[in-house]
Structure formats: structure tokens, C-alpha cells
Chain A
């Protein structure tokens, strides 16, 4: 029964999402939010079912003897489930009154793209998924009106550079793949120089979306310029999807040469962590600060990729899941405050007095990002650093710990500002937003106190990719 649900239900649900994205939306279609939410929840449930039954592998697509296009294994099932859940939370915080239908259309397309990337078994579908994600995000930002144009154009420019570099990289290794399948390429016949060039191009193309220095300078501008919910989307979904693409390309397709690229990841991880944290220190706009904090988190995640064994990778994916919930929660609070015209750190004063829930929630999200136990961010960082130490990469672990120190500075600055009491008027939060923030809080606290189930699920799903 579950097999049938996953086998037929998942494609059907994604197709429904795509149809709703392409066709059904009307400018004032109020029901579209509900529809998108239901479909996404259904996909999350189906992903959970697939994960629960632990299907080793099966393929979808492949017409007339050509290789398969999609696959469902525990890894993709896990991320289908998590990404859909996070998208539902982002849908809850979205409150763009004008042109709701159009927003939901682009939002659904982002979801479709992200799911395609996760489920892809072919580099071509992976590429299409990435393109769908970034193009729909550009359109969703443009939907916000004239003052969003700058952010949209910046994102458009860099993502078109990204995708063209990606295609170029793909064209170099194309002859050696088995019909674009995501499987280790045959190393016979391919020259080292060609492979290296292609790998660097892949890194460049994907690092632009994943936010790795020096390919991420666009990030703070776009994050600050976009609507709050789109920022949450960019940080919570787009970036994570890029990491999953990096994982597929480097640890599956180029798996045999991974030892060659691991040092590159190591250097990039250290630079990215330092860049993100040092830049975040000098920001006054909280949204921009969180954008740089998100960059530093990309560095932590890349640290796990640099370790390049099962422990490191599962730590990285644990951190990816943790950061999805932390960043969506934090951007939700920041977005809600931005609606009230509260943007700078100085204006956050007295937030504990004005709305206790928002203050406590933002504090917990920030402490979690800084890596304070017993929150989920701590577990992620703990796993990452211990995997680095376990493989003898002490410099990497040390850099990570130093950066955790630095990050306390700017998170603490915001928390301290919130605690400075002034008796201004209370701020009220709408229910959907409160619900979304509450969901993120529950996930972060519960999985921070009792992380073992998720750790083992992530570990098993990463293992399943390699078997």
C-alpha cells in the first residue's frame, strides 16, 4: 500500500503542484494558498512514509530504454519531506496581500524545482531543477513591487551566470557519464586536467547559489532587498538545494576523485566562515546581519563536506536541516518586525517587553545558530566539529570553534538590545506567523534535547546514497 502511495502519489502530487504553479493561479485566487499548503503537506507526508518504509532504491522515468530521470531513496525521501515541511512553514509566514495568486504560483514552482533537484537521478534534471528554483525566485521577488526590482535583477544576473557555468562544466564531463546519470563517471580516458577544470567550474557554479566565498557577495543585497518570506525561502530552501546538488555532483558523480577536491572545500569552508562572521559583526541591519550569518552557516556546512566521510556528510546534512528551521524562524520574526518598520539593531530595544514570544523565539533561534546547548544548532556544530577532529582535521575544527566565538558577538548584540527594557506599546503578531515560529521553535528545542532519531535517520540516508 505504502509502496503504491509513494510510487504513484509522489509524482502525482508534484505534478499537481506544477499544474497549480503554471495554470490554476489567478491574481486574486485566495484558495491557492490553501491548495499549495495541502499539496505540500501531502508531499511531506508521502516523503515521511517513504522514509519510514526505507525503500532502498527505485527509479522513475527513463523512456524507451534511456536512463532514469528520478529516483527515490531514503536520502531523497528525507529531504523531500523536510523541504516540503519547511515550505509549508514559509507559506504560513507569507502575508503579501497583493497578488496572492501570483505569489503562490511562483512559490509552487520553487517547491517543484527543489523537489526535482532532490529527487533527480540525472544531471540534466538536476540542472533543470536548479534553474527552476532560481528563476521562480526571481519572479517571486519581482512580484513584490517596484522596490524589489533591484534585488530581483541582482539575483537574476548571478543565477544566470551560475547556471551557464554549470552547463559548461557539465559539457566537459558529459561524454564520460552514462547518459547523464548521477552515478560515478568512468575514469578511463578522462584526463586529469579536464576533470579538474570541470570540477572547478562545478564548484563555481554551485557555490554561487550555496553562498560560498567569494561567489556570494550578491547575497546580502538580495536578502535585504527581498520580501521577508522570500528571504526565508532563499536561505532555507534555495541554498540548501544548492548544497544537495554539490553533494550529488561531488560525492556521487565525481566520487572517485573526492580526495582531490576535499582540500579545496576545506579552504573555502574556512574562508566562508570567517567572511560571514566578520561581516555580520559590523552590520546594523538585522536582516543583513542574518544574511551574513547564513553565509557563515554555509561555511559550517561546507566544513562537513570537507571532512568527506560518512560522519562529516551526515553532520553536514544534520546542520542543513537544523539551519533550515533556525533561519526560517529567525527571518519570520525579522520580517514581522520589518513590517512594523523595525530594522536596525537599535530599534530592537525592548522587544521582550513589547512581545515576549517574539523576543524569546528570536533569542532561541540566535542561540541555536551560535551553537548553544541544548538546541539543535549545537548538536549540528558538535557533530561537525567532532567529525573534523575525528579525521584529524584540527585546523578546520579550530577555525569552526573560533568562528562560533565570533558569532556570539553579533547574536549577543541583538539579544542584549532586546533585553534593554523600554515601555513602548505592545506589538501584536498574527496567528499564522506565531504558529510558524512556534513550529520552528518546537523542532529546534525537541531535536536539540533528543537528537538521536534524526542523527540516525540522516546517517542511514547518507549511507543509502553510497550503497
Chain B
């Protein structure tokens, strides 16, 4: 069997050499088609993956409509919470784990006075953040609930910032100065940067540079740190006249997350949100029925359009491209196989069965596919350099040439070519032995 297989491969190789132009055209066609699809697929895969697969079904974003039907967008509640509602959710503590967050930008002042201050961007959040999102730590750990309440200036820094400030040494317990305030380091995270950054879609940071610092939410608010991210006030004009009235007003700027382990818990949380909205209505704050949402990670990313439209358009185009290349290959294979009708007739007359013809020609197509795949790999590699042109660097960096992509390229190339070869092979197998012998 395997002897026959190699015999077929040898036959194929001989035949491919006989028509170098047609063979080259087919290989190029497959190579370009596969490379175009693979490059765009690599980008698509990078932006459409699940950023936290182990927990994406347990993490939810609560949304509360504090605008009402006259001002909300197409009936949907805002994408974030105002401070009042966010803190109410935290106080009610109806979920096993819960956190709030907003983006902060702090100026790090190195101890060495010679070094210039620099900006570190990160999040003000609650202690559950680190457990909820499975943040890996290099040293130490997150702060505890006690420090949420005591508003202590503690900080978790990223591995990169730790490298920059302390040369990568264990800095837990040491102090850093940011905007003239001293913070005690309690933990150093590993390089951790889920893409897209599902927990901060509100500020448009899906593909931003990794966060470098995390500080307690209550401390940040007490120190009047303004959000470094988005602030959305809607058009009802209720936005306050100064910091205090803004903080307690209806502008939304806080992203909230809750972890709910079972469907029953999620349902109970929905009930709680509706109950909260009804309370607010009874208190006169909302004059509309509850209009809340509780989306899990997948639904949230979809709602926030995490996959850039460019990526979807290119993927569809690349698939169309692959189809054209396959149609082209079918045509070329047909030409190639039918040109050998006399040879097929002789083989058939000498006793080769249809199955033998099938095997021989599909093996030949497989070799074309393999060669096309190898060319496709080279072109995919080149294309990977080129994608920086189309997507912002943050997204382009995500698309990598890894083992799975290499294998996929080869498999797609061979499978597509063999598939394309079925019709030409079928036509070849239809060649009648007697007729061909007669005509020559």
C-alpha cells in the first residue's frame, strides 16, 4: 500500500516536471491564496479569541440604565456605571466576587533624581480584581479587602515596571513615589495583558499598552484622581458643577464586574439589579421601569465590537481570494490531467482501475498542494511583516506565526488542492481505455 503511494508520488513528480509552467502557475495560485487567508486569519484569531477562557462564562458586566428611554442609546443602558450605582453594587455585595475599576495615569518619580518622571497607566480597582481575573503574580499578591476599606496607598505593579524601577528584584514592601504620594508595593504581576482587554472596553483600551499599576479604588477617589479613561455624561445635562457634584452625578465612568458561578446566581443577580432600579424609581431618581443588562465576557465583547471591522472585512476578502485561487487551480489541474488523456487510456488499457487513476492523480494534486503550502508559508511570513500597515501596531503584534499557524497553512493548502483536484481527477478517471487506443 505504502509502496503504491510512493510509486504514485513518483509518477506525480515526473508529470509535474513535464509541464513546469502549469505546475508553477498552480503552486503560485495555491501559495498566494493560502497566504492571504492565513495572514488575515492570524489577525482575526488574535482579536477574536477568548481573553479569559477559563472564566469567561462566570464574569459578568452589570449595566444599569440611569438615563432613561429619552436619553439612552437605542434603548441600551450606558456601557459603564456612575459612581453612585457602582458603589451601591459594591455595598450590596450580592455576588461572590465583584470589582469596580477606572483608568488612572500616574507620574512615577524614580528615587534617582537624575531620572525623569514618567507616566504609568493602570487601574484603580478593588481587591477582588486580582482573583476574579486570575492575575498571575511574580512576587507578593494583591491587597486585601481591609485595604480597600482603609484607603491605604498600596500598589501592585507590573513586571515591566518592576524591571524598570528595581531591575527585576523582589520589590514587595518597598515604596514608590507617584505624583508626590508614597505607595507601598504589595505585589508584582507577571506579564499579564489579556487581549482584547475585556475588562476595560469602555475606555477604548481593548488593544492598548499593558497596565503598569493597580491602586485601591477608594484611595484613588479619596485623593480625587480623575479618570484617565472615558467619561460619558449623556445629553440630559445632569453632570454637576464641580468635582463633588460630578462624582455624585449621572456621568458614567466606572466599569463594574461581578463573578457569578452558576446560572442560578446570575439569575438572582439580575433580580437584584432590577430590584435596585425599582428602588431608585421609588426614590424618584429614575422615572422609568428597570432597564438593566448582565452580559458575560463573550456577550460583552460582541456588544462592544471587540473585533475591528477591518479584520472581518479582510477575512471575508481573503476567503473570497482563496476561493478564486481554488477555481483557478481546478481549471489548471483539469487542463493538466486532460492533456494526459492518451496516457490514461494506455494505463487503463493495461489494467489500471479507476481507483488507481484516482490515487495517482490525487497524489499528484497533494504534491502541488504541499508545494503551494510551502510557498504559502513563505508568503505568510512576508505578509506578517506587512500587517503592521493595515492594523495598528498593538493588533499587528498579536498576530504571530506559530506552530499551529504553520501546520494550518500546510493542511489548508493540501486539503484545498486535493479538494480542487476531485473534479479533474473524476474527469481523468472517465477516460475510456478502448477509445483512446483507437484514436491514436
The answer to whether A and B come from one shared complex is no
Chain A positions within 8 Å of B, measured between CB atoms, are none
Chain B positions within 8 Å of A, measured between CB atoms, are none
